[in-house]
Structure 1
Amino acid sequence: MKLTKNILMALFVGACTLSGAVSAESGSFVAGEHYQIISPKESEEPIVEEFFNYACGACYSMEKVISEIKNENPTVKFKIIPLELRPSWKVYVKAYYIGEKLGVLDKSHEKIFRRIHVEKRHFKNDDDLKDFFVSLGVDAKAYDDVAKSYWLNTQLRLSKQYAMNAKVIGTPTLIVNKRYKLDNKKLGSGERIKQAVKELSGSNNIVKVTEQPKQ
């Protein structure tokens, strides 16, 4: 009888150990450590927002992870928000919105990243930026209409305002479902970032851990 109890206890301990291993493997993310809760409630539809800037080296390195997040989560909406963290970055915020408005983002996005981080050629001024878009086949007048528009100035203002409200102070920053702001450094790797996006967006049906950190 005693032997049977010992065997049952060993099986129980083994099962608990295996369960813990599976749980750790599936990924568990904690508020206050791996992400911050920035809103009392999340969006109705799953969405990932990336705050970035073309001049940001870490953003360029993150591009592969971002591409994989998009491909692996087809039901999740993805939105990019260019952010001006310093005066010299403003031209790159313009570059994103101008490319988006003129419908050439599929060409301009990758080429701008490559120009800055591979070719080491930064945009000197607005004229330099205009020459770049014209080289992509954009009509010069169409470029001027967007570059000098009220719409562009509004986008610049709104991106700053939204970043301030979300307490975004660095790039790249990912916010999931308008509620969960990821801490890339604490997550530690692209794979962990992708798993956190899946878990917090609900795209892999894992229950979110939203407990606030203890004070």
Structure 2
Amino acid sequence: MQIKNLLLRALAIATVGASAMFVSSAPAMAADPYTTVEPAQPSDTTGKIEVLEFFAYSCPHCARMEPLVEAWAKTLPENVVLKQVPVAFNASMKDLQKLYYTLEALDRLDLHAKVFDAIHQQHQQIYDAKAIAAWVQDQGIDAKAFQDVYNSFGIQSKISRADELTKLYKIEGTPSLAIGGKYVTSPSQTGSYEGTIKEAQKLLEQVNH
């Protein structure tokens, strides 16, 4: 009987542990599928409705949702533009934030998805400037050309704007999608990556009616 009780207790603990792992592996769901941005923010792109994708290369949820965002972006009307905004919630995230804008400036955003893959699939530790420079060189980018842009004033200006947008939109987690300067939705609000894209589309239709 004592052995049986011990086995039952062990099974109960294992079940609770498995449940905890399951919950933590998926986005939580908030009471509302979106929040309203107050005050509403103007577009930085003249004549276009902006969809801002707040993301971080180190974020596993961003890595999972990125293919869905890319597919959705191809369906957006001509008066809508998707802009990616790398987020740095702390100093340790700054170098990867700079990486995105450097790839953009070098017209090498073809490597955007590969950064996610390197970190989350290949488990490469490309979190600081030295490791990033080595990885970029492996992708065929000239080391000096990369460093010149990476450390430029232009990149720092873009980072300052990204930090400002993160505060203006009150972004507390990634990934998050801001629609037309008026709404923000995310997997933590909708409960799924697919649900976030659907909610973003619905909000976009409201803004673009």
TM-score (norm 2): 0.75
Q: 1:22 maps to what in 2?
A: none
- 2:67 is the counterpart of 1:68: no
Distance (Å, rounded) in 2 between the aligned partners of 1:124 and 1:85: 14
Distance (Å, rounded) in 1 between the aligned partners of 2:134 and 2:172: 31
Residues 1:170 and 1:41: Cα distance change in structure 2 (over 3 Å): closer
Residues 1:83 and 1:132: Cα distance change in structure 2 (over 3 Å): same
Aligned pair partner of 1:96 in 67, 76, 100: 100
User: Larger Cα Rg: Structure 1 or Structure 2?
Assistant: 1
AA matched with 2:109: L
Residues 1:138 and 1:45: Cα distance change in structure 2 (over 3 Å): same
Shift of residue 130, structure 1, vs aligned partner = 1.4
AA matched with 1:86: N
Gaps of 5+ in 1: 1-31, 208-215
Q: 2:170 maps to what in 1?
A: 167
| DSSP 3-state at the match of 2:88 | coil
Contact (CA 8 Å) 1:91, 1:123: kept in 2 or not? no
Across the aligned residues of Structure 1 and Structure 2, the Cα RMSD in angstroms comes to 2.3
Shift of residue 67, structure 1, vs aligned partner = 1.8
| DSSP 3-state at the match of 1:80 | strand
Residues 1:170 and 1:87: Cα distance change in structure 2 (over 3 Å): same
Q: 2:128 maps to what in 1?
A: 125
Percent of residue pairs bearing the same amino acid type: 28
Contact (CA 8 Å) 1:94, 1:156: kept in 2 or not? yes
1:109-188 aligned at under 5 Å gives the runs 109-188=112-191
- 2:33 is the counterpart of 1:34: yes
TM-score (norm 1): 0.73
Q: 1:81 maps to what in 2?
A: 85
Distance (Å, rounded) in 2 between the aligned partners of 1:177 and 1:204: 6
Structure 1 runs of 4+ aligned residues shifted over 6 Å read: none
Aligned residue pairs total: 174
Contact (CA 8 Å) 1:60, 1:117: kept in 2 or not? yes
AA matched with 2:198: Q
Per-residue CA deviations over 1:141-187 (Å, capped at 9, x if unaligned) read 21121122111111222211111111111111110011101142232
Contact (CA 8 Å) 1:59, 1:172: kept in 2 or not? yes
AA matched with 1:72: T
Shift of residue 136, structure 1, vs aligned partner = 2.1
| DSSP 3-state at the match of 2:82 | strand
Residues 1:165 and 1:203: Cα distance change in structure 2 (over 3 Å): closer
Per-residue CA deviations over 1:95-151 (Å, capped at 9, x if unaligned) read 101111111111x21111111001111215312211222222222221121122111
Residues 1:172 and 1:93: Cα distance change in structure 2 (over 3 Å): same
Distance (Å, rounded) in 1 between the aligned partners of 2:180 and 2:125: 33
| DSSP 3-state at the match of 2:122 | coil
Distance (Å, rounded) in 2 between the aligned partners of 1:164 and 1:111: 28
Distance (Å, rounded) in 1 between the aligned partners of 2:175 and 2:125: 19
Distance (Å, rounded) in 2 between the aligned partners of 1:136 and 1:60: 19
| DSSP 3-state at the match of 2:48 | coil
Shift of residue 64, structure 1, vs aligned partner = 2.3
Residues 1:153 and 1:51: Cα distance change in structure 2 (over 3 Å): same
